[in-house]
Amino acid sequence: MKKNLFLLILFLLFLSCSEVKPPEPFGAVPSERQLAWHEMEYYMFVHFTVNTFTDKEWGYGDEKESVFNPSELDCRQWAKAASDAGMKGIIITAKHHDGFCLWPSGFTEHSVKNSPWKNGEGDVLKELRQACDEYGLKMGVYLSPWDRNSSFYGTPEYLTYYRNQLKELLMNYGEIFEVWFDGANGGDGFYGGANETRKIDNRTYYDWPNTHQIVRDLQPGAVMFSDAGPDVRWVGNEQGMGSPANWCLLNKDEMYPGGDFAKILGEGHENGTYWVPAEVDVSIRPGWFWHENQDSLVRTPENLLELYYSSVGRNSNLLLNVPPDKRGLLNERDIQSLIAFRELREKEFTVDIAKGKRVTASSVRGKDFTPMNVNDGDTETYWSAKDNNTNADFIIDLGEETEVNRILLQEYIRLGQRVHGFKVEAYTGGKWEQVIEGTTVGYKVIRRFPTVKTSAIKVIISKSKACPVISNVELFRAPGE
């Protein structure tokens, strides 16, 4: 009897040793819809409304519908440009602060239905949906909470009006990947002819939880953006600058859209209780809307590459605004810049030098978590150190002296964002030399460093909240020094 018990214990011990469990998640983790959003990385913002024709950035709300009259509107041209540029979706200003709707809303006369465009029969959202489907892009909507046209604005009735419009957008235009709630709120406007200033309390007026529920019910796969989430947060500036230390974590309950939180939003909260990653929204021109006198001020491909490093390279998504002109077409200059930027980007990341090379680590949790997972081309597999090993490293053996000047790192974020200190060293001249130092990683970081000729690269996770879990490492030799 005793012998049997002993054998059983031995057997159980054997079972528990052979199966090494994955690490426990640490802190807040992303939802499935957020994980899908992270993979979008780079997509287009389209600012288009009456402002395009009146040369304004913020329409007052009294614009006649007749001013909206694009001569050659072609959403397929936008979608083709986005797809050629390597973008994965388009978010459109279905309604900006002026209240003019790009779709024939049943709740206002202030829309395309009273414009001369297509004799009032047109629907920009419908055309964009078809174009996105044709080019394999996802579609998102911006619906300005502030409405300078509506007589309801500032009263409780406005909420019903706003939610009705939101429902129209979420029910009639297929799958929406992101709903964009702008933070600019309240001030002077037309308001149905009142021509006055209306102030609202950002914290309470919109009753956001109930509006958010509408999005969850009608488009469960969509993420919601605002200054403070709930799913995606503003990065705190409109210059395209992600924060070098960037937590996907935020104590969002302490915040509300339109509040004064710009400084916090860049970095997020190191120990935030919710997963709310940052999105960098920035325009390819000085303004959000098209203005003829800005045709010469389109960002250069080199400048767009800088934006890419300061957004996607810093654990954020890049939402790049490209505004159609009065024809309803993206301007040739903007398209040229976008395409040349794609070419530059491709030259940066031509051959992944790390792929398939031998990788060894100072700590390995078990055979399923081998360091060879970091460069197997599969971001669902990862290297993990043993529990409590919050300081660990791995070495990529390049086999021969190779020039390297870029590194891309990704954490397996399904288990949370853990790393808050890392270094990269290159083996050169018989010793290890540091090439970069960083803080957070998260979904992705891409770092540049002066070209080094090396036979091995060491990634040291010097500080982590729990054992590190790294899903991907790529190395490149980009043109230049």
DSSP 222: -
Least Å from the CB of residue 183 to ligand FUL = 6
Name residues whose C-beta falls within 8 Å of residue 129's C-beta, 6 or more positions apart in sequence. 139, 173, 174
Nearer of residues 238 and 368 to ligand FUL, judged by Cβ? 238
Instruction: Give the separation between CA 45 and CA 89, rounded to whole angstroms.
Output: 9
| By the rule CB under 6 A, 100 interacts with ligand FUL | no
Nearer of residues 288 and 341 to ligand FUL, judged by Cβ? 288
Nearer of residues 47 and 447 to ligand FUL, judged by Cβ? 47
Least Å from the CB of residue 129 to ligand FUL = 21
Q: For residue 160, how far is the Cα from the chain centroid?
A: 29
**Site stretch for ligand FUL (CB under 6 A), options 180-188, 400-408, 441-449, 462-470:** 180-188
Are residues 42 and 318 in contact, defined by beta-carbon separation less than 8 angstroms?
yes
Name residues whose C-beta falls within 8 Å of residue 137's C-beta, 6 or more positions apart in sequence. 43, 79, 82, 83, 87, 88, 89, 90, 131
Least Å from the CB of residue 281 to ligand FUL = 5
Least Å from the CB of residue 116 to ligand FUL = 25
Nearer of residues 48 and 412 to ligand FUL, judged by Cβ? 48
| By the rule CB under 6 A, 183 interacts with ligand FUL | yes
Least Å from the CB of residue 51 to ligand FUL = 9
Of 317, 307, 269, 288, the closest CA to residue 182 belongs to: 288
Give 466: exposed, middle or buried? Use CB within 10 Å, 0-12, 13-18, 19+: buried
Least Å from the CB of residue 262 to ligand FUL = 11
| By the rule CB under 6 A, 171 interacts with ligand FUL | no
Q: What is the DSSP secondary-structure string of 111-154?
A: BGGGSSGGGGT--HHHHHHHHHHHHT-EEEEEE-S--SS-TTTT
Q: Which of residues 282-311 bind ligand FUL (CB under 6 A)?
A: 288
Nearer of residues 168 and 281 to ligand FUL, judged by Cβ? 281
| By the rule CB under 6 A, 184 interacts with ligand FUL | yes
| By the rule CB under 6 A, 182 interacts with ligand FUL | yes
With CB under 6 A as the rule, give the number of residues binding ligand FUL.
6
Least Å from the CB of residue 445 to ligand FUL = 25
The Cα-based distances of 370 to 6, 38, 68, 469 in angstroms read 33, 25, 59, 11
| By the rule CB under 6 A, 98 interacts with ligand FUL | no
Q: Which of residues 9-68 bind ligand FUL (CB under 6 A)?
A: 57
Nearer of residues 98 and 425 to ligand FUL, judged by Cβ? 98
Figure out which of the listed residues 63, 98, 147, 281 binds ligand FUL, where binding follows CB under 6 A: 281
With vertex at residue 422, the alpha carbon angle to CA 233 and CA 227, rounded to the nearest 5 degrees, is: 5
Nearer of residues 12 and 184 to ligand FUL, judged by Cβ? 184
| By the rule CB under 6 A, 99 interacts with ligand FUL | no
Residue-wise burial string across 25-42, b where 16 or more C-beta atoms lie within 10 A, e elsewhere: eebbebeebbeebbebbb
Structure tokens, 180: 């964009």
3-state secondary structure labels for all residues of 274-327: EECCEEEEEECCCCCCCCHHHHHHCCCHHHHHHHHHHCCCECCEEEEECCECCC
Least Å from the CB of residue 277 to ligand FUL = 18
Instruction: Give the separation between CA 287 and CA 203, rounded to whole angstroms.
Output: 28
Least Å from the CB of residue 48 to ligand FUL = 11
Nearer of residues 74 and 238 to ligand FUL, judged by Cβ? 238
Instruction: Give the separation between CA 315 and CA 35, rounded to whole angstroms.
Output: 13
Nearer of residues 288 and 309 to ligand FUL, judged by Cβ? 288
Least Å from the CB of residue 33 to ligand FUL = 22
Give 423: exposed, middle or buried? Use CB within 10 Å, 0-12, 13-18, 19+: middle
Structure tokens, 278: 């940052």
Nearer of residues 149 and 464 to ligand FUL, judged by Cβ? 149
At which residue do the structure tokens 């959403």 appear? 75
Q: Which of residues 440-479 bind ligand FUL (CB under 6 A)?
A: none
The continuous run of DSSP H or E covering 416 comes out as none
Rg (CA), the chain: 25
Nearer of residues 48 and 341 to ligand FUL, judged by Cβ? 48
**Site stretch for ligand FUL (CB under 6 A), options 177-185, 195-203, 419-427, 446-454:** 177-185
* Residues in contact with ligand FUL by the rule CB under 6 A: 57, 182-184, 281, 288
